[in-house]
Structure 1
């Protein structure tokens, strides 16, 4: 019985390591995408072009409303 629990423990450990490796791969991919996007923004600013952001519209400042009183 001790041998079975050891095999189960090793199996769980291998599964956890595989999941951790997948998480690291996804994180690395996201970091590469982010770096590429930031480099593109810097290049656009240097050449005088507008940024092509994909941010949230709610994060932009609204136009100032004039007080009509």
Structure 2
């Protein structure tokens, strides 16, 4: 016997998707800022121009 196809994921509303995207963005931005602070402390020589 063949297995039935897996059920598609439940559709989520736009507000739920937006909220999840905002949370993901915030987490990513926090992680990036933390990495920048750890790896390269700001100094006057950091900017080229």
1:15, 1:28 → 2: CA distance?
20
Q: Mark the structure with the bigger radius of gyration.
A: 1
C-alpha root-mean-square deviation of aligned residues, in Å? 2.1
Q: Which structure 2 residue ranges, 5 or more long, are not aligned?
A: 1-10, 44-49
Q: RCO higher in 1 or 2 (8 Å CA, sep ≥ 6)? A: 1
Q: Which structure 1 residue ranges, 5 or more long, are not aligned?
A: 1-8, 44-69
After superposition, what is the alpha-carbon deviation per residue over 1:43-69, rounded to whole angstroms, capped at 9, x for unaligned? 8xxxxxxxxxxxxxxxxxxxxxxxxxx
TM-score normalised by length of structure 2: 0.56
The structure richer in helix per residue is 1
Q: In structure 2, what is the equivalent of residue 66 of structure 1? A: none
Q: In structure 2, what is the equivalent of residue 26 of structure 1? A: 27
After superposition, what is the alpha-carbon deviation per residue over 1:21-41, rounded to whole angstroms, capped at 9, x for unaligned? 00000000000000001124x
